[in-house]
Structure 1
Amino acid sequence: MDMDHAEELFINEAYELLQDMEQFLLEIDNEEAEVGDHIAAIFRAAHTIKGSAGLFGFDDIVAFTHKVENVLDAVRSGKQEFTEDLIELMLGCHGHMQMLVSAISDKESEVDKQEGLQLIERLNVYLKESPNEPVVEDSPAEETDTESIESSEDYWVIEVEYGEDVFRDGMDPLSHINYLDNMGTIHDCKLTTHFPEKAFDPEACYLSVILAYETNLTKADIEEVFEFIQENSKITISTPLSYKERFKDLPENSDPIGEILLETGAITERELNQALTEQRSATVESSKPIGEHIIDSGAVDKEILDAALKTQSKQAHKKPQDLRFLKVDARKLDRLISLIGEMVTTGSAIDVEVKKLQDENLDEVFSTMVGLIEQIRDRALQLRMVQVGETFNRLKRIVRDVSKELGKEIKLTITGAETELDKTMVEKLSDPLMHIVRNAIDHGIEGQEDRAYKGKSKEGHLQLNAFHESGAVVIEVVDDGAGLNQEKILAKAIENGVIKAGEELSPDRINMLIFEPGFSTADQVTNLSGRGVGMDVVKRNIDELKGQITISTKPNQGSRFRIRLPLTLAIIDGFEVSVGDAHLVIPQNMIQECLTFDKSVLEIDRNYVNLRNEVLPFVDVSEVLRTEPNPKDYRHLVVVKYADKKAGLVVDALFGELQAVIKPMSEIFRSMKGIGGSTILGTGDVGFILDVPQLIEYACSREESRFSKSPFELLHEDRQG
């Protein structure tokens, strides 16, 4: 086994469990859930982290988490009340555990040991222990006849024949024994060796161990202790004979015998799968029932199997299968998406050749294949979709900590947490949302005295909303604070030289000034804000995701930050057009309609047309890309819409629908405005994907200064802002 890979799995699992712990603690703190069930879940998470850390010899994590686990166990058993102070302590312990796990992957990070000692002292208060209480070693295992280690009424019999690569993989058999001893009682231990007759390897492991073990752990829990050596070691865990009593209370049913044994915990899923594999591979002559394979493996005794067989009946109905989940390396998934993208591109090339042949049968068969490719594409992309609720839950801690630091009461409301978004986008969205939320609490929501003076409730309200809209995902951060002070923003922008004095801007444009680098209206610098760092990062990150952020605000009523993001960044349904000799692709879900455009309109000093009594601003794409004008008398107007804004794109020719695999632009071309990416067309030509939000924003705002600057300069300035 690759030890680095095993450590990586441990770290990822630990982070997931720590995230669950934090979420459950915050839900208890906000009185959103019953304490009992959540405490049990928090205890299980801490227990799993401790157990896995023990296998790798991360003693500092084991020691600290053991204290946390003991306090949680006291709460779970009703011996200790889960007070507000204890919730605060557990959140602090969560932070320290996260620091300990981070130190494994980041060798340069330092763990605050003093903080850990202080937390242990506070935990000891709840355990009624002295901070300097010496550690008492466990008593040695009872002296018994090692030859008597066999199936018994009360003990698990654990046999481990370690593989030769155990030492090379960094595993220590003693750590397994120590961990089991901490979680139960080892009544007997027999250690043997199996040295080879020739070619002795001093780095190889030739150990075998047999244990008589008493514990409250389940068989699956015991098996997890040896999880990282299962590939090259032989592990047999014999169930105590007392387990046969469990079958007396079971109702009669027609489940397979393996399922019955699995349900009672007499065998584990690994043992069942191993027995099924042996049964399938057996010849007809040597074939035998699954129960005999399980007995031969040493997992259970015949007495237990006989007790299980008595519960079988043909009358009962089968239970539905539980949902099963499989963890997949994200890099494998990205590779799959990439291959599907290549398949889509190749399909487009084949489509061009099929149309040349004009064979109806071939065209029909190929159309069926294209439909299947689209289904595969959609299913593969869905594998990368995750709920935004995971990101929202992380913000609960931010809201809690910042509001306490500022002495404000904030109520957080979350809606649409089940909304799904591409995982890569969710990860990049975390920091922008954190900055917006912190600013909303610090700048937006007033202090309790100010709110009372304005007739508001002392408790401020913050909302996180997520929902689907027109083929995009919308995420909103809404507060009921003071709103943006546009006069102050305008004055600060003039002072910083962002805009010129006397320049007239629309309210929306004024709001967007807060995203200028270094821009801040705070009167003093604090730990949270005032340096003008953060909001420009928000805008830059949203732009990188091909998204759009807008702000609406009302004095003394609050502000709404609205982020619109595409569902995925990998493959889109597009519509091919051209300008000059450039092939362009417009995302299909943004197109409203296509119209013939009279070229004479461009000769009039205006940048809008009357579309069924509606003013529609437009932009000539050839002007933006600086291509040669079309000599024809007419062109085409593609009406596009993004969010609540609509505009027209003037292009030379329309080609039709296609699937476009988005490829990032080279560093040389990333400064090009109005272009969001590239793709390979079926003809082999390179097509450029238009950045519709950029072009709409340009078309709608160009009127303000269209007489002083060229369109390209205006677009450049708009995006720089």
Structure 2
Amino acid sequence: MLTGEQWNQLLQGFLSEGRDLLKDAEDSLLQLETAPEDSDAVNGLFRAVHTLKGSAGIFSLTPLVNLTHHLESLLMQVRDSQRTLNEDLTSLMLRCMDELRGMLEAVDPATGEMHTDLAQQALLLDALAQARGLSDDTPVVDSVPAAPTVGANAQLWQLSIDFSEALLRNGFDPAAFLRYLSRLGEIVTLHTRTDRLPGLDSFDPEACYLGFTLTLRSAASREEIADVFDFIVDFCTLTLEPCTDPAPTLAAPAEKKSPARDRRPQDTSMVKVPAHKLDELINLVGELVISTAGAQMQAKRTGDNACIESALAVHQHVEQIRESALKLRMVEVGETFNRFHRVVRDVSKQLGKHIQLGIRGGDTELDKTVIDKIADPLTHLVRNAIDHGIESAAERLAAGKPAEGNLQLNAYHDSGMIVLEISDDGRGLNTARIREKAIGKGLIEADAVLNEAAIHRLIFEAGFSTAEQVSDLSGRGVGMDVVRSAIEQLRGSIEIESQQGLGCSFRIRLPLTLAIIDGFHVGVGQDSFVIPLDMVTECMEASAASLTSQYGYLNLRGTPLPCIALDQHFGLPASTARRRNIVVVSQGRQHAGLIVDHLLGELQTVIKPLGQMFQHLRGISGSTILGSGQVALILDVPSLFRQLQAPAALDVSLLEPLA
């Protein structure tokens, strides 16, 4: 008998699969809107809806089965070229996808009960019926109809099904699949095989020993028939062959089967793991990294070569484990980017604009934790680009541009970080308008001298907006400051590149992971700091006598290099070192020098979040524990760059050139 925990796991599996199927269906539908002749997209859409209906039927989720059935009927007309998939039909199907997604979320994972809005479903069922050409007085039933009429194009299929002994223990009823097959056509012959029944002394009442051999007359395709058993692919073996004899022999299926006929799981199957279990693994690996660093330090103190070699071997294995563990949590950013096809479609139609979305770099991988937290800022930037950036068709034509606007999402690696780029070919940022609004809000003085880049950064100030009217999309003075804050919490930064009349690009720079990084260890007096290694460009010595200010400039091979003296910046005791060092760091096209006392080398850094008491610290993104047990602070390099751009840091005169 199925336990409550087993039933919960089974239901959770269905809900997870259902969300994936709806995502696949929506992607296929949006693909069809731009490429109506794409037969693969039509079949993918139909298959996703059909599989969702079959799986929902196993759990007796009647409202969900009902809606998917009527949606499937409409899709059959599209697939059979009886209907053309136009904009109105696509919009109706997308509304159905939204409703199905809401129905899945309304399923109680503990009981399997579903509480949904029947009135909303009734409206959608009526709309689907009208779209299929049914009259207003044609009743829309609340259950899946019985077996369809078998047409002249039906053929005979021979099926041999062997159920796993674990089928019953996992809550499945073999007869349920036969009942579902009967909806695809007529079961001509049916024979129950009991050749696997054991003797009474070894009979397990919870085990399934059944198998069926049957002949089905149906117009359904091989894939549609095989999909009936998709949900129990781990608990059955299926052989499916076309036949002409309505009374096939009952011989056992041949041992040698092609992969298309044998529904057993393959070695390449995916394993779904709850995110919290991966988080626990990453945390444990982080603690292992810290412990290994301590062991290496102790080994070096002993001076025992054998002990040092053993500690080094352990360190190398831990590094491999770390890399493998982090890869488990890496996902392609394209999955997140693809969601914006729907956002662009809905928002552009709401605004009456014509916009084409392009995606590049979708195979770039990023930590799932980062992906989940960056989705909302990306959505805001995309909506802003559609609303503020890209002009209406009339405006674009008047400006000599194509009527259709272009929005690009791009992802790529740069200096050890991931860059997510949102670009449009719209009107660009209005520098004069931004400056005027900033003066009006008291953000800057009327006589302030700011370059174009500094003016553009003002849009990230709290409450700033240039929208003339408040709408559902913009003009409420909330948004861009929240976007920057969310990105900074991920230890990232955002840059703007805009040309008025030509377009605008927002570039978000993010670390690959939030858990463990390679760091560069530096010392300032008795204190330790860690700089993300990917941001370190070079290191050099400089005389202490020439570095007397908190902020300043050094001449680095003919180029001014802004610098920060970390001891003065963080209010630490003044350095007494005779010679000091400069660590040159970079972020995109920006470079700066961090003035420190000691260069202590590279190390693996496990990032520990700061407590609430230290959240106000600027220039610090977290902490880590060294092998000695000492706490080192991790520098927030993007924050230090912003402080260098402050007016107080710009008035320092040029210091002595570097040798």
1:718 corresponds to? none
Among 438, 456, 467, the alignment partner of 2:401 is 456
Where do residues 27-42 of structure 1 align in structure 2 (5 Å cutoff)? 27-31=31-35, 34-42=37-45
Partner secondary structure for residue 607 of structure 1: strand
1:214 Cα offset (Å): 4.8
Residues in 1 aligned to 2:513 and 2:505: alpha-carbon distance in whole angstroms: 24
Gaps of 5+ in 1: 142-151, 198-203, 246-256, 271-320, 708-721
Residues in 1 aligned to 2:633 and 2:76: alpha-carbon distance in whole angstroms: 60
1:182 corresponds to? 183
Q: Does 1:121 align with 2:145?
A: no
1:91 Cα offset (Å): 2.1
Residues in 2 aligned to 1:238 and 1:611: alpha-carbon distance in whole angstroms: 73
Residues in 2 aligned to 1:552 and 1:239: alpha-carbon distance in whole angstroms: 59
Deviations 1:597-649 (A, max 9, x none): 32222336961112222211111111222211122233221111111111111
1:378 corresponds to? 323
Q: Does 1:261 align with 2:267?
A: no
Deviations 1:534-570 (A, max 9, x none): 2122111111111110111111111111111111111
Residues in 1 aligned to 2:397 and 2:114: alpha-carbon distance in whole angstroms: 45
Among 13, 17, 34, the alignment partner of 1:13 is 17
Contact 1:547/1:563, CA 8 A, preserved across alignment: yes
1:185 Cα offset (Å): 4.4
Q: Measured at CA, do residues 5 and 634 of structure 1 come closer, stay the same or move farther in structure 2, by a change above 3 Å?
A: same
2:564 corresponds to? 619
Where do residues 188-587 of structure 1 align in structure 2 (5 Å cutoff)? 214-215=215-216, 221-224=227-230, 226=232, 258=255, 260-263=256-259, 265=261, 267-269=262-264, 323-587=268-532
Q: Quick one: which amino acid aligns to residue 367 of structure 1?
A: L
Q: Measured at CA, do residues 601 and 109 of structure 1 come closer, stay the same or move farther in structure 2, by a change above 3 Å?
A: farther
Contact 1:620/1:649, CA 8 A, preserved across alignment: yes
Contact 1:478/1:561, CA 8 A, preserved across alignment: yes
Deviations 1:498-529 (A, max 9, x none): 33443333322221221222221111111211
Percent identity, aligned pairs only, is 40
Residues in 2 aligned to 1:41 and 1:434: alpha-carbon distance in whole angstroms: 27
1:210 Cα offset (Å): 8.1
State which drifts further: 65-74 or 603-612.
603-612
Contact 1:176/1:226, CA 8 A, preserved across alignment: no
2:639 corresponds to? 694
Deviations 1:685-714 (A, max 9, x none): 11111111111222243545769xxxxxxx
TM-score normalised by length of structure 2: 0.84
Q: Quick one: which amino acid aligns to residue 18 of structure 2?
A: A
1:424 Cα offset (Å): 1.2
1:376 Cα offset (Å): 2.3
Residues in 2 aligned to 1:701 and 1:137: alpha-carbon distance in whole angstroms: 67
1:189 Cα offset (Å): 9.9
Residues in 1 aligned to 2:145 and 2:34: alpha-carbon distance in whole angstroms: 41
Gaps of 5+ in 2: 149-155, 247-253, 653-659
Q: Does 1:82 align with 2:77?
A: no
Residues in 1 aligned to 2:473 and 2:108: alpha-carbon distance in whole angstroms: 28
Q: Measured at CA, do residues 137 and 673 of structure 1 come closer, stay the same or move farther in structure 2, by a change above 3 Å?
A: closer
1:429 Cα offset (Å): 1.4
Q: Quick one: which amino acid aligns to residue 41 of structure 2?
A: H
1:56 Cα offset (Å): 1.6
Where do residues 163-174 of structure 1 align in structure 2 (5 Å cutoff)? none
Deviations 1:279-330 (A, max 9, x none): xxxxxxxxxxxxxxxxxxxxxxxxxxxxxxxxxxxxxxxxxx9844332222
1:262 Cα offset (Å): 4.6
Q: Quick one: which amino acid aligns to residue 387 of structure 2?
A: D
1:24 corresponds to? 28
2:251 corresponds to? none
1:684 Cα offset (Å): 1.1
Partner secondary structure for residue 408 of structure 1: coil
Deviations 1:58-107 (A, max 9, x none): 11111000111122223223333333433233222222222222222699
Residues in 2 aligned to 1:71 and 1:153: alpha-carbon distance in whole angstroms: 26
Residues in 2 aligned to 1:583 and 1:591: alpha-carbon distance in whole angstroms: 16
The runs of at least 4 aligned residues of structure 1 exceeding 6 Å deviation read 106-110, 136-141, 157-166, 171-174, 187-190, 204-212, 235-241
Judging by fraction of residues, say which structure has more helix.
1
Q: Measured at CA, do residues 553 and 269 of structure 1 come closer, stay the same or move farther in structure 2, by a change above 3 Å?
A: same
Partner secondary structure for residue 106 of structure 2: helix
Partner secondary structure for residue 42 of structure 2: helix
Q: Measured at CA, do residues 225 and 19 of structure 1 come closer, stay the same or move farther in structure 2, by a change above 3 Å?
A: closer
2:657 corresponds to? none
Residues in 2 aligned to 1:130 and 1:556: alpha-carbon distance in whole angstroms: 51
Q: Measured at CA, do residues 129 and 241 of structure 1 come closer, stay the same or move farther in structure 2, by a change above 3 Å?
A: closer
Contact 1:577/1:584, CA 8 A, preserved across alignment: yes
Residues in 2 aligned to 1:469 and 1:116: alpha-carbon distance in whole angstroms: 48
Q: Does 1:68 align with 2:13?
A: no
Among 594, 599, 612, the alignment partner of 1:649 is 594
Among 101, 106, 109, the alignment partner of 2:104 is 101
Residues in 2 aligned to 1:350 and 1:137: alpha-carbon distance in whole angstroms: 66
1:629 corresponds to? 574
Q: Quick one: which amino acid aligns to residue 183 of structure 2?
A: N
Partner secondary structure for residue 325 of structure 1: coil
Residues in 1 aligned to 2:114 and 2:552: alpha-carbon distance in whole angstroms: 56
2:46 corresponds to? 43
1:394 Cα offset (Å): 0.7
Residues in 1 aligned to 2:333 and 2:130: alpha-carbon distance in whole angstroms: 39
Q: Quick one: which amino acid aligns to residue 440 of structure 2?
A: E
Contact 1:662/1:678, CA 8 A, preserved across alignment: yes
2:152 corresponds to? none
Deviations 1:342-387 (A, max 9, x none): 2211111111112213344443443343233222222221222111
Residues in 2 aligned to 1:626 and 1:469: alpha-carbon distance in whole angstroms: 33
Residues in 1 aligned to 2:534 and 2:353: alpha-carbon distance in whole angstroms: 43
Q: Measured at CA, do residues 669 and 185 of structure 1 come closer, stay the same or move farther in structure 2, by a change above 3 Å?
A: farther
Deviations 1:241-262 (A, max 9, x none): 95999xxxxxxxxxxx75x325
Contact 1:392/1:417, CA 8 A, preserved across alignment: yes
Partner secondary structure for residue 363 of structure 2: coil
1:110 Cα offset (Å): 7.9
CA RMSD of aligned residues (A): 3.7
Residues in 1 aligned to 2:500 and 2:239: alpha-carbon distance in whole angstroms: 71
Partner secondary structure for residue 263 of structure 1: coil
1:658 Cα offset (Å): 0.8
Q: Quick one: which amino acid aligns to residue 441 of structure 2?
A: N
1:34 Cα offset (Å): 4.3
Residues in 2 aligned to 1:117 and 1:436: alpha-carbon distance in whole angstroms: 36
Partner secondary structure for residue 81 of structure 1: coil
Q: Measured at CA, do residues 225 and 417 of structure 1 come closer, stay the same or move farther in structure 2, by a change above 3 Å?
A: closer
Number of aligned residues: 617
Q: Measured at CA, do residues 432 and 647 of structure 1 come closer, stay the same or move farther in structure 2, by a change above 3 Å?
A: same
State which drifts further: 669-678 or 75-84.
75-84
Q: Quick one: which amino acid aligns to residue 117 of structure 1?
A: A
Contact 1:162/1:208, CA 8 A, preserved across alignment: no
Q: Quick one: which amino acid aligns to residue 603 of structure 2?
A: L
Residues in 2 aligned to 1:388 and 1:14: alpha-carbon distance in whole angstroms: 21
1:133 corresponds to? 139
